[in-house]
Copies of this chain bind each other. A is one copy, B any other.
Amino acid sequence: MHQTFDAALGIDLLHANQAGADHNRAHFDRWGITCLNVMSSPGAGKTALLEKTLAALYGELAIAVIEGDMTTELDADRLRQYGVPVVAINTGRSCHLDAQMVAGGIHTLEHQHNPKALDLVLVENVGNLVCPAEFEVGEHAKVALLSVTEGEDKPLKYPIMFQEADCLLITKIDLAPYLEVSIEQIAANVRQMNPDVTILPVSAKTGEGLQPWLDWIKARVQLIANTGNFQLSN
């Protein structure tokens, strides 16, 4: 965990971040937008999954991406090819996105697009299996990825991310035949940390398992769209 208390300023940084995240979420709710915070180790396949997701949902949902990376716009450029608004946030030396960074991304989106026309904002976090789990950014759900190449024991060794996740994608399942790894054992270890998480095995490369993931997103979007309408009507 990060140093989260600045005694001189009297500010609990995690508490301040939470307030910022709630503020971001209020924006999303007012616009009827669902926000998903997508997190994993570096190289677990977040960007590849989002590429397939954007391609599959094109014309069906209006999506924007807030793309977090320490440096470069390599991932942002990959996703811009899918014809969606992508706001790149470079975190510099920071190992995670925080609510304030994402607020900046929201305001950029707001100035360049009509946010009310959007259904879904996908936040791709910095690749890190530890720190991003502790900093909400205003999301309605946390999506974590664990690739089969990372090994079966990761949910036990890095519990916080798995405890926090609403949806856990086991990625790169096309590589499982070349590894000494059991997808069932990974799922069992995830379940041990979080009995309620939705677990979806997927290969962005072959497309296997993509449809259940798209269905999960669409159900989430429907839920928030309904809630948003309800709030607006009051």
Contact = CB atoms under 8 A, between A and B. Distances in A.
Interface of A: 1-4, 6-9, 13, 41-43, 69-72, 74-75, 92-95, 126-131, 134, 147, 149-151, 153-154, 156-160, 172, 175, 178-179
Given A42-B150, A147-B149, A70 B7 contact: no
Question: What's the number of copies of this chain in the assembled complex?
Answer: 2
A131 B1 contact: no
Given A7-B8, A149-B43, A175 B172 contact: no
Contact of A159 (B71, B128, B159): B71
Given A3-B4, A128-B129, A130-B131, 18 more contacts: A2-B2, A3-B3, A41-B129, A42-B151, A43-B149, A43-B150, A70-B130, A70-B157, A71-B157, A71-B159, A72-B156, A127-B154, A127-B157, A128-B128, A147-B149, A175-B175, A175-B179, A178-B178
Contacts of A126: 130
A151 B156 CA distance: 25
Contact of A157 (B1, B2, B72, B179): B72
A154 B42 contact: yes
Contacts of A157: 42, 69-72, 74-75, 127
Given A7-B8, A42-B41, A150-B42, A160 B1 contact: no
Contacts of A74: 153, 156-157
A206 to B, nearest CB: 12
A52 to B, nearest CB: 15
